[in-house]
Structure 1
Amino acid sequence: MASLDKILVAKLKEHSRLSGEDLAVIRSFSHSFRELAPNEDFIRQGDDPNVSAVVMSGWVARYHLLPNGPRQYLSFHTVGDWPDAQGLFIERMDHAVCAIGPAHVACIPHKELIKAFELRPPVGFAIWRETLIDASIFREAITNNSARSKPARMAHLFCELFYRARASALTRDNELDFPISLPQLGETLGMAIATINRTLSELRAGGTMDFRNGLLTIRDWPKLCAIGQFDPSYLHLKRLAR
Structure 2
Amino acid sequence: MTHSPTETRELLKADTFGHIERVQVGDEIFVRRDTRSAHWLLRALARWAARHEARGLERLRGIDGVPQLRRWDGHVLERSYLAGAPMQTAQPRDPRWYRDAHRLLRALRARGLAHNDLAKEPNWLVRAGGSPAVLDFQICWISRRRGGWFRMLAREDLRHLLKHKRTYCPDALTPVERRLLKRRSWLARTWKASGKRVYKYIARRWFGYWDDDGGALSSRRRTDGTSREP
Q: TM-score, normalised by structure 1?
A: 0.27
Q: TM-score, normalised by structure 2?
A: 0.29
